Amino acid sequence: MVRFIEKIAYIAERPPAGNEHVDHFSAADFDPEQVREYRAIVLRFNKNSRDIIAKIKGNPDSIIYCKPLFLEKDDPGEMPAYDKESLDDIFSGQDIYSYCQGEKEYIDKVNSRIAEMQASETTHLSSSYDLALKVIRYLYSREMPLKPVRFHKSIYGYLYPAVDIFFPNNSYQEFILVDFLKNKNLIDGEFIDKIHLCNHCHSAYINFRETCPACSSADINEEDLIHHFSCGYMGPDSDFADSQGMVCPKCKHLLKHLGVDYDRPSEVFICNQCSNILQEPAVHTLCIHCGKPSIPENLFHLKLYNYHLTALGISSAISGVIYSIQEEYAKNLDFIDLSHFKAIVELEIERIGKYGKSKSSVVVFMINNYIDVMAYYGKKVTQLSQELARQVESLIEVPHAIAHQNDERLLFFLAELGKNDSDVIMKKLISNLNNIISENINLPLEFSYHVYEITGRESFDTILQTG
C-alpha cells in the first residue's frame, strides 16, 4: 500500500519562506527519487523547468511520474497550452502550502488512483510497451483524455503533450506510440483534424505551389483569355496589350467593347520562364523544413483524434501489464511476418490462376469480443494462446502458414484445402476451444471466421477485405 507523507516537495533555486509542510529541493541537482513519498510536487518556473518535468516523467516508477505536479510562475498567462497539458495546474501569488490545500481534493484523488496501480513486473518484447504503460497510467491517474494541441514550435504543427514529454527534440515517435496505443485497443477517440506532412521528414511546414508542367517553375502568372469575335483569334490578355488599348495581334483591329468585339471565356496561366501557356497549372509542394519537393498525392496524411482510455486501457493501467495476445501467440505458434504471408498467398493465387488443378484457402479467424475478454481476464490470455496453439497444431496437418493481422485476427493459409474442408477444420477448432476455455473462465469467447477459397482471380487485399 502506497503511503504519502503530508508534505509538499518544492523544487526551486531558492527555498520558500519557512513552512513546516513544505520541503525544498534544489533545482540544480534534483533527483526524482527524493520526492517519492511526497503527496505533491510544486516546481518553481526557471529556464530548466521543462528538463525537470521530463526527468520526473521519465522516471520508471509510476508513483513518481504520475505524482501531482504544479508549476509556480509569476505570470501563468505566458505558458502555452502545450506545457499546461503536461502539468496539473499553474499558479502564482499564493503561499505554496495554502495553494495545495485548496487543491487537496484533486491531489487526494490522483494519489488514490496511483495507489491502485500494481507494480509492473512483466517484460515485453518491445520497449514501446513501457512507454505505452506510462501514458495510460498517467491518463488514468487524471481521468483525462489524450488530446492533440496545436504548437507552432513543433515541425508537425500538433503534439500530444502527455506523450511528447517522453520524446525530446520533436520526435515523430510520439505519433507512432499513439498509433501503438490505438492498435492495442487501449485508447479510442473522436476525430479532430487531418494534417498533411512531408513524405521525407514528416514536417507540416509545406508550401503548396502552382507550377508549370513543362519546366516545373513556380514563376507563372494568371491572365484572362481573350476571344476576338471578328477574326476568331484567342490568346492571353498580354497578347492584346498595346499603347492604343487592346489590339488584336492577328488582324490588328482595336477591341473596344466587351461582349461586342470580344469576350473573356476563361483564364490561362503563362510561365515566365519557358513561355508555356496552360489552362491548369500543376501543383507541387516544397517542404520548408528539409527543402525537398514532392506532389500532394505523395504527402503523408495524419489523422488526429481526441482519445480516451478503453476498458482494456483502464485494466492495463491498473495491473501494470499491457495484455497482448500477439506476444502470447508468438511464444506458442510458428508465425510468419504478414508480408511473407502475403507473398505466399500471392504465389498460390498465381499458381491456381495458371494451372487451376487444385484448391487452397485463406481463413480469417477472429475473436469478436477480444477487448472485453482482455480487460476482464488479462493474464489468462496466456492460457488462451497456448490452447489455441495446441489445437491448431493438432487439427491442421496440411502445409500451412499463420500470421496475425492484429490482436483480434489470425490469418491461416491452408494449402490444398478448399472451402468445405477448411470449414470442417475451423468449426472443430472453435468447438474444441470453447469446450476447454469455458471450463476455466466465465466470460464466453466469441469466435468467428471467414474462409476464402482461392480462385486465381483475386488479390490478397481483396481477401482481407472480404474477411
Residue 200 — φ and ψ, nearest 5°?
A: -105, -45
Report d(CA 141, CA 69) in Å as an integer.
Answer: 12
- Contact at 8 Å (CB) between 240 and 247? yes
| pLDDT, one tens digit for every residue, the chain (467 residues) | 567 888 999 999 888 877 789 999 998 889 999 999 999 999 998 888 888 988 998 898 999 999 999 999 887 555 555 566 778 988 888 889 999 999 999 999 999 999 988 776 554 445 678 889 999 999 999 999 999 998 888 899 999 988 888 876 668 889 999 999 998 889 999 999 999 999 999 999 999 999 999 998 999 988 888 999 989 898 888 888 888 888 998 898 888 888 888 998 888 898 999 988 888 899 999 999 999 999 999 999 999 999 999 988 998 898 887 766 666 666 667 778 888 999 999 999 999 988 887 889 999 998 887 777 666 666 566 666 677 777 777 776 666 888 888 778 889 999 989 999 999 989 988 888 887 766 656 666 788 999 999 988 888 888 887 65
- Contact at 8 Å (CB) between 247 and 230? no
Helix (H, G, I), strand (E, B) or coil at 135: helix
Report d(CA 40, CA 293) in Å as an integer.
Answer: 49
Which overall architecture, per CATH, does domain 5-116 show?
A: 3-Layer(aba) Sandwich (3.40)
Burial of residue 455 (number of CB atoms within 10 Å: 0-12, 13-18, 19+): exposed
Which cell goes with 165?
Answer: 514529454
Q: Which residues pair with 196 in a beta bridge?
A: 301
Sheet containing 282-287: give its strands across: 206-211, 282-287, 293-294
Q: Which residues pair with 430 in a beta bridge?
A: none
Task: Let me know how long the chain is.
Answer: 467
Enumerate the H helices of 356-440 as residue ranges: 370-377, 381-395, 419-437
Owner of C-alpha cell 502475403 = 342
- Contact at 8 Å (CB) between 428 and 390? no
Owner of C-alpha cell 493465387 = 349
5-116 and 323-466 agree in CATH topology? no
Q: What is the CA radius of gyration of the chain?
A: 32
Name 368's Cβ contacts closer than 8 Å, sequence gap at least 6.
408, 446, 447, 448
- Contact at 8 Å (CB) between 56 and 65? yes
Q: Positive or negative CA dihedral for 110, 306, 134, 96?
A: negative
Which overall architecture, per CATH, does domain 323-466 show?
A: 2-Layer Sandwich (3.30)
Report d(CA 110, CA 97) in Å as an integer.
Answer: 17
Each domain of the chain, given as residue ranges in start order, spans: 5-116, 125-212+281-319, 221-271, 323-466
Name 137's Cβ contacts closer than 8 Å, sequence gap at least 6.
62, 65, 66, 117, 317, 320
Q: Which residues pair with 309 in a beta bridge?
A: 187
Q: What is the pTM of this model?
A: 0.72
